[in-house]
Structure 1
Amino acid sequence: MNPIRWALPLSAALVLATGCSKAPESSAAPTVMAEARAVSVTQVVLRPMAGTLTASGLLVPREEAAVGSELSGFRVAQVLVEEGASVEQGQTLAKLDPGLLQARIAQAVAALAQSRAQAKQAQGEAARVAGLDGTGILSDEQIHSRRAQAQGANAAVQVAEAQLNDLRAQERRLLIRAPVAGTVLERMVRPGDVALPSQPMFRIARDGLIELDAEVPEAALAKIAVGQRAQVELASGAKFDGTARLLSPRVDAQTKLGRVRVRLPLDPALRAGGYASVVFSREASPVPAVPEKAIQFEASGPLVIVIDEQRRAQRMPVQTAGRADGFVAIEQGPPVGTSVALGGGAFLLDGDLVDPVEARPTASHAQARN
């Protein structure tokens, strides 16, 4: 067979085979590029932000006084104040019926007069035997008896005086007086009620001061200091400036919440028992932050989409803090300088290839970079 005749078809076959083997390599690069999704990205930057912490609680009196009767068994004759009244220290709030006590006082006065008369007589008899000791006119036993009677009569006068003074003191307690100046929070007595020492009649907020008793998570309690500024908002929307007055020395073992007392100004809109929220603020300091659009929220909590050096997406949980001017502070998360996806990253999955597009910085973002 002629070698030229079979060599030509073989060469053509080799050329075709070579061309077919190179075709997939040339089309692979466009396929990979087609998988990369263009996504706007930004970086975690250091940004001066004022730290804030939000909590809530109930409005309570700064100091509360419970007012009741020290006497038992006396009926209430008059109630002189209502809830919400402003009272002065020592002001009469209610009066008890004095009828029963006045009869006992009259008896004590008569008993005292009788004791004094008997004492006067005994003292006179004792005076008449003065100097008769050893004279034989009266026996020593009679002389000592008269002197003992005089001493006993004087003691009886002192007892009668003490009993009368006790009744006089009870008479003064028939007037229920305010132990402190302030605002009457609650009135729990009516005319005709029988006074009992175990049952308070009034509750008074000392000096009318109301403050917020806020519940704060254990981890956040260490970030609050006495004197720190706070803004309290009532359910009505009214806002008041306050300061942290007292930090609880203990944390509830079950709820893991501590308490912070927030001092508030004197205002009639502040009512004990009302609900309020509070925002504690601190001075601005540089903290890692990202734009709000970079934060995504899932059932497990907030997260960001981190773009690594291989342009691969990776979902990373974060712990956020305060917000200001469109930025969110990051307490736990990627370090400063890390690239993160903006709003378009919501459709990315771990490992997705990304074609990063640097987002145009806003004025505040450019200022944070500088």
Structure 2
Amino acid sequence: MNYEARMFGGEERLALTGEGEKRSRRKWWIIAAVIALVVIVAAWVAFASGGAGDKADPAKAGAANGGQGGDRQLPTVTVAIPGRNTIASVITGTGSLAARREMPVGVAGEGGMVTRVLVEPGDWVAAGQVLATVDRSVQSQTAQSQAASIRVAQADLSIAQAELDRSQQLLSRGFVSKADIDRKTATRDAAAARVRVAQSQLSETQARNRRLDIRSPAAGLVLTRSVEPGQIISSGSGALFRVAQGGQMELRTQLSEADLHRIPAGARAEVNPVGMDEVFTGEVWQVSPIIDPQTRQGIARIALSFDKALRPGGFASARIMAGGAVAPLLPQSAIQSDAKGNFVYILNAKNEAERRGVTTGEVSDAGVAITSGLAGSERVVITAGAFLNPGQKVIPNLTTLKR
């Protein structure tokens, strides 16, 4: 019995010990759950009170964030006041350089063999200066013969005049009749006529001989030479020399029909030959009166002063100043477009974006001219205009436009 009692007592103790451990575990689980619940409630209360405080007083919330909490959600845009600028209307074109007045010089007389060529391309010549000479040995002999004929005719005239004078002295004495006087007068007049004929023939021959000299019709610059000594030339030989009158050059630029209507005679132009950095100043002296029906283009001729760098046949570009206007000038980034047309955004006194329809004009490296829609005193959104909506409030960043 004692043994059994001891056995049962040990089992009871073991059972009591297991129950205590289970109770201890439940206790800790309950404590942990309570702590978690308290933390969750505290966090929710703190979040709710903070949100209510921001909604109740946004000014204080903004002050707590350094005074700009409300503006941090507004976009910042760059704006500028364009003012009004004098904008030159510039028309660009390309073309070929040429002599303004190119004079082809050929054979004016009967021609012959060239004996001398006195000039080279690039030489300056005066009006009437001899460029080349043609052999005139035969023509010189003809001139000498005609000069001798004049002297013979003059001798005959002297004899006829002397006989007439003597007959007139004898007429008063009755030794000659009136008929004799008339005959001698006629002989004298015929001799005088033969003198004049001989003189005219000599003058004609001398004029023909002078035409054997190839002369420049006006002062200018020799452009080309296509004759050499020993060459046989005639009136059908074509141009032997080409001379630029006064050395004046021009650029013949091809322009569209619309551009030609905008260019007045006398408009200033800048010409830049290909391969050169130098720019030459000239003026439009003639606008083509006709338009090519195939290309719908015409020619504007820009007069240029002589310069060795300007070579006829060369290629050049031109900028023609076709007038000017006073208007606001904006960069391309400020111009927006939609189905209603071109527009810009301007800011009102509340820094709110307002749409303003505009009409654009001349486009250049400096910007886009606004011909209507802006006075020039508005604050115009330069960048980020594509992301704005009418009435949207923004933070303006004022800048100065570069010209």
Q: What interval of TM-score do these two structures reach, taking the shorter chain for normalisation?
A: 0.5 to 0.7
> Taking every aligned residue pair, what percent have the same amino acid on both sides?
29
Separation (CA, whole Å) in 2 of partners of 1:358 and 1:95:
86
Q: 1:363 aligns to what SS in structure 2?
A: coil
Q: What is the Cα deviation at residue 169 of structure 1?
A: 2.6
Give the corresponding residue for 2:319: 279
Would the aligned equivalents of 1:323 and 1:329 in 2 still touch at CA under 8 Å? no
Give the corresponding residue for 1:58: 96
Separation (CA, whole Å) in 1 of partners of 2:89 and 2:123:
37
For 1:234-280, what per-residue CA distance to the aligned partner results, in whole angstroms no more than 9, with x for missing partners? Answer: 1113332414252437353633535242434x321101222211223
Give the corresponding residue for 1:263: 304
Would the aligned equivalents of 1:212 and 1:276 in 2 still touch at CA under 8 Å? yes
Amino acid at match of 1:257: G
Amino acid at match of 2:320: F
Give the corresponding residue for 1:161: 199
For 1:272-331, what per-residue CA distance to the aligned partner results, in whole angstroms no more than 9, with x for missing partners? Answer: 22221122348975424332335699xxxxx857679xx999x9996543231xx22245
Give the corresponding residue for 2:147: 109
Higher percent of residues as helix: 2
Would the aligned equivalents of 1:229 and 1:242 in 2 still touch at CA under 8 Å? yes
Amino acid at match of 1:128: R
Amino acid at match of 2:369: A
For 1:29-81, what per-residue CA distance to the aligned partner results, in whole angstroms no more than 9, with x for missing partners? Answer: xxxxxxxxx99897995542531413333323233333333312433222221
Aligned CA RMSD, in angstroms, stands at: 4.4
Q: Relative to structure 1, is the Cα distance of residues 71 and 292 closer, same or farther in structure 2, using a 3 angstrom cutoff?
A: same
- Which structure would you say has the larger RCO, counting Cα contacts within 8 Å and 6 or more residues apart? 1
Separation (CA, whole Å) in 2 of partners of 1:305 and 1:359:
19
Give the corresponding residue for 2:269: 230
Separation (CA, whole Å) in 2 of partners of 1:203 and 1:354:
72
Separation (CA, whole Å) in 2 of partners of 1:188 and 1:260:
28
- TM-score relative to the length of structure 1: 0.67
Q: Which has the larger radius of gyration?
A: 2
Q: Which residues in structure 2 correspond to 1:16-95 (within 5 Å)?
A: 45-56=82-93, 57-95=95-133
Aligned length: 316
Q: What is the Cα deviation at residue 153 of structure 1?
A: 0.6
Q: What is the Cα deviation at residue 174 of structure 1?
A: 2.6
Q: What is the Cα deviation at residue 130 of structure 1?
A: 1.8
Q: 1:150 aligns with which of 164, 182, 188?
A: 188
Q: 1:130 aligns to what SS in structure 2?
A: helix
Would the aligned equivalents of 1:212 and 1:261 in 2 still touch at CA under 8 Å? yes
Would the aligned equivalents of 1:69 and 1:176 in 2 still touch at CA under 8 Å? yes
Separation (CA, whole Å) in 2 of partners of 1:296 and 1:164:
85
Q: 2:243 aligns to what SS in structure 1?
A: strand
- TM-score relative to the length of structure 2: 0.62
Q: Relative to structure 1, is the Cα distance of residues 195 and 355 closer, same or farther in structure 2, using a 3 angstrom cutoff?
A: farther
Where does structure 1 lack aligned partners over 5 or more consecutive residues?
1-37, 298-302
Amino acid at match of 2:249: I
